[in-house]
Amino acid sequence: MNQTIFQFFHWYTTAGGTWWQHFQEIVPQLKEQGITHVWLPPAYKGSKGPTSEGYDVYDLYDLGEFDQKGSVATKYGDRDTYLSAVRYAQEQQLKVLPDIVLNHKLGGDAEESFAVLRIDPENRTNVIGDPFQINGFTHFTFPGRAGKYSSFEWNFQSFSGVDYAANLPPEEQGIFKILNDYGEEWSKAVDDEKGNFDYLMGADVEFRNPYVQEELIKWGLWYYDTVHPDGFRLDAVKHMSWKYYKKWIAAMRAHADKELFIVGEYWTADNIEAMLRYMQQTEESMYLFDTILHHHFHLASCGEYDLRQLYDNTFTAHYPQYSVTFVDNHDTQPLQSLESPVQPWFKPIAYALILLREQGIPCIFYPDWYGASYRDKDQDIELPAVGELSVLQIARQKYAYGEQEDHFVSGDLIGWVRKGDPAHPLTGCVVIISNHEGGHIHMQYPHFSGKTFINCLNDTQVIQLSEDGGADFYVSGKGVAVWIPVEAHE
């Protein structure tokens, strides 16, 4: 079976502590649709308690068990419901990939006073002025947990920087480099955007601190033994020491009793060199999301675009065996931090490109399957479900096998043939895409000479292959057609 990941959340997932229960109820549908992996949101307590999306990490050990930050349960539910949902999904042969956020913490329990340097936000290597003292919420004691699972307390030595000083007025806030025992400079084992992109948000974890290193590995082993996940989605890896993450992953894999599927988020719209360098630095220890391909989808959906350039300088083009492809996610959806949504008309095209091609493992976004609506920043947003998506996913599991032959004939008309696999009888398909007017591409499919093909997205459209296996496969304007043998469709 072809692997397919499902991102089972979005930024505006309904609060109220019922999401894990909802997930468990939906598991049979996902299994029936040929989903193999499910990416779940961060399960631990965030600084906003019952409304936290999980990326404002407060306590990694609190999976909805302790009365902290205004609630016991997280936005998604309590610990028992979470563990039950994970176990049920795995019983149904779905692999579970929890979201892991180790880069930063928010919501400290007490203030500390420490020396800092003010940093230029656009060039993080540029220091503004002399060292001075600030008060920051960097002491994490987790009183609600009272030492259960771990007695480790975080203090300013555990962090490399903050963006809030409790003793400064709003106009004097900024990015502050903490002068801890591990140096006046940021870690160099990170991305070099903005000069140095160690700092992202909140209290930035100091991965040069050996006690922090030990604690996060200890937590990872505890989390594995508690949840028994099948892998992880790693958040914001470009902002963290690649040296440490390589060590952390090795520790998890050595401890696990099964193969772990690990995919990292290295966000860039166009810097393929940085992604390739990261893969070399980490010795190909994880998959990466192809954020560059997503950006190309976004651009293609917003105006004139040469479809032949979709894969130029993408991670998929360079590392197809380690690429996870996607159309949108919780960061790119409207009103979010990396807002770059793919327009609705192009989404069926984009999903055909990730689901029906040989390269990459595709990831489906929850609102694209189920739809979503929300209000934020005085705006009402409606994300319609992609009507063709379930058919495309079925086509992936039934027909998208075998060698791939591309026919990228013009800037607004491309296609490819999947030649099928003897291990999967009656497999293979022909896909054709247009981002302008309708058209056709003549393609050869000798294996099905003389056979009738049908467009599985519109079963009123049929064509007859010639005796040598050739045919003009066509598509309507701004659309996608997936041609399969009639006998396979019946």
pLDDT of 239 > 90? The answer is yes
CATH homologous superfamily of 402-489 equals Golgi alpha-mannosidase II (2.60.40.1180)
Q: Give the integer Cα–Cα distance in Å for 272 and 270.
A: 6
Q: Residue 400: pLDDT above 80?
A: yes
Kindly state the percentage of the chain with pLDDT values over 70.
100
Whether the predicted pLDDT of 164 surpasses 80: yes
Please state the domain extents for the chain: 5-102+210-395, 110-205, 402-489
pLDDT tens for 282-323 read 999 999 999 999 999 999 999 889 999 999 999 999 999 999
What is the 8-class DSSP label of residue 279? H
What distance lies between CA 242 and its chain's CA centroid?
A: 18
Least confident of 16-20, 378-382, 445-449, 459-463: 445-449
CA atoms within 13 A on the CB side of 266: 33
CA distance 240 to 289: 16
Rounded mean pLDDT of 457-465?
A: 92
d(C-alpha 80, C-alpha 195), whole Å: 44
Please state, rounded to an integer, the average pLDDT across all residues of the chain. Answer: 96
Under 8 Å between Cβ of 393 and 355: yes
**What's the pLDDT band for 490 if we cut at 50, 70, 90?**
low
| Cβ count within 10 A of residue 6 | 23
Say what the pTM is.
0.96
Q: Evaluate whether 143 touches 153 at the Cβ level (below 8 Å).
A: no
Helix axes 389-398, 347-355, angle to 10 degrees: 10
Q: Is it the case that residue 269 has pLDDT exceeding 80? A: yes
What tokens were used for 69?
A: 């930050």
What do you get for the CA distance between the two ends of the chain, in Å? 20
Q: Would you state the pLDDT for residue 488?
A: 82
| 27 and 88 Cβ atoms separated by less than 8 Å | yes
The arrangement of secondary structure in 5-102+210-395, i.e. its CATH architecture, is Alpha-Beta Barrel (3.20)
Catalytic residues: 235, 265
**pLDDT per residue over 365-375, tens digit each?**
999 999 999 99
- Residues 382 and 12 sit within 8 Å (Cβ to Cβ): no
Fold type of domain 110-205: Elongation Factor Tu (Ef-tu); domain 3 (2.40.30)
Confidence of residue 422 (pLDDT cuts 50, 70, 90): confident
| Amino acid 25: pLDDT | 98
The pLDDT of residue 444: 87
The b-or-e profile of 11-38 (16+ CB within 10 A means b, else e) is bbbebebebbbebbebbeebeebbbbbb
Query: What is the mean pLDDT of the segment spanning 87-108?
Result: 98
Mapping DSSP onto H, E and C, the string for 17-44 reads: CCHHHHHHHHHHHHHHCCCCEEEECCCC
Angle at 364 between CA 359 and CA 365, to 5 degrees: 140
